[in-house]
Amino acid sequence: MVKLDDIPFSLDAELLMEQLRVQPGTRSAGAFTDLLDRVVQVARPKAVYEVAYVDDKGDDSVVLNGVRFTSRALRRNLDPVERVFAYVVTCGTEADAVSVPEGDMTQALWLWTIKEALVHGAAEYLYGHLATRYQLSHWAAMHPGSGDADVWPIEQQRRLFSLLGDVEALIGVKLTDSMLMVPTMSESGIVFATETDFATCQVCHREDCPRRQAPFDEAVWRTLCAD
């Protein structure tokens, strides 16, 4: 298990304000900058990962370091793979503890967006770390609960956590009974080497998702998810 608790980050105030439609030079811009400064002063994004090896492959399941995961898409994605990297990355409890005035939905959205940028940046750092340290030239990731509900059921989040040890003690991320992570701005998944450009959005039917990173791909869905 490897813990990364000193992840460098930079938050682009201009870009975030553009994304949130905050006009520079306005009173709102001042309030946004104040909030951003408060987050930057305390934020400590973190990650933990474990190198896991494929012990067994079933029709619709795969065993990683002794833990069985049931997902046809995961199994098929790992078909040529013997080693993966299980991980959790988070904006950190420090940024998560920053508060905004109760009922201020605008500032709540700003804070949500800032923490989202933090976890995305931390995930990119982790991917870069893995690529360098383990000489991955091309890789992809899958996440429990991401995409169509049956692609990799979110109930398997706890099994993923079990590969990593006490994730809450390590980086402050805990799982609720409904398998959601706290801090909410955390991401879990498995990184694996691949030659293809897989993204979970390719096997997700959800329409009008503002966070879609790739169009739904019928051919990929048939290859990974169909009977």
Near ligand SF4 by CB under 6 A: residue from 104, 133, 209, 218: 209
Taking the complex as a whole, the smallest distance from the CB of residue 147 to ligand SF4 amounts, in Å, to 4
Confirm or reject binding of residue 157 to ligand SF4 (CB under 6 A).
no
| Chain centroid offset of residue 208 CA | 20
Near ligand SF4 by CB under 6 A: residue from 1, 206, 215, 222: 206
DSSP string of 47-70? EEEEEEEEEEE-SSEEEETTEEEE
Confirm or reject binding of residue 212 to ligand SF4 (CB under 6 A).
yes
Confirm or reject binding of residue 201 to ligand SF4 (CB under 6 A).
yes
Diameter of the chain by CA atoms?
A: 59
Residue with tokens 């923490």: 115
Tokens of 159: 């099994």
Confirm or reject binding of residue 188 to ligand SF4 (CB under 6 A).
no
Confirm or reject binding of residue 204 to ligand SF4 (CB under 6 A).
yes
Near ligand SF4 by CB under 6 A: residue from 146, 157, 186, 188: 146
Confirm or reject binding of residue 147 to ligand SF4 (CB under 6 A).
yes
Cα–Cα distance for residue pair 170/148, rounded to 1 Å: 30
Enumerate residues 6+ apart whose C-beta is below 8 A from 103. Answer: none
Cα–Cα distance for residue pair 98/87, rounded to 1 Å: 25
Choose between 188 and 200: whose C-beta lies nearer to ligand SF4.
Answer: 200
For residues 74 and 59, the answer to whether their CB atoms sit within 8 Å is no
Confirm or reject binding of residue 95 to ligand SF4 (CB under 6 A).
no
From 140, 147, 80, 92, select the one nearest 116 (Cα to Cα). 92
Confirm or reject binding of residue 71 to ligand SF4 (CB under 6 A).
no
Confirm or reject binding of residue 158 to ligand SF4 (CB under 6 A).
no
Choose between 90 and 200: whose C-beta lies nearer to ligand SF4.
Answer: 200
Residues that bind ligand SF4 (CB under 6 A): 146-147, 200-201, 204, 206, 209, 211-212
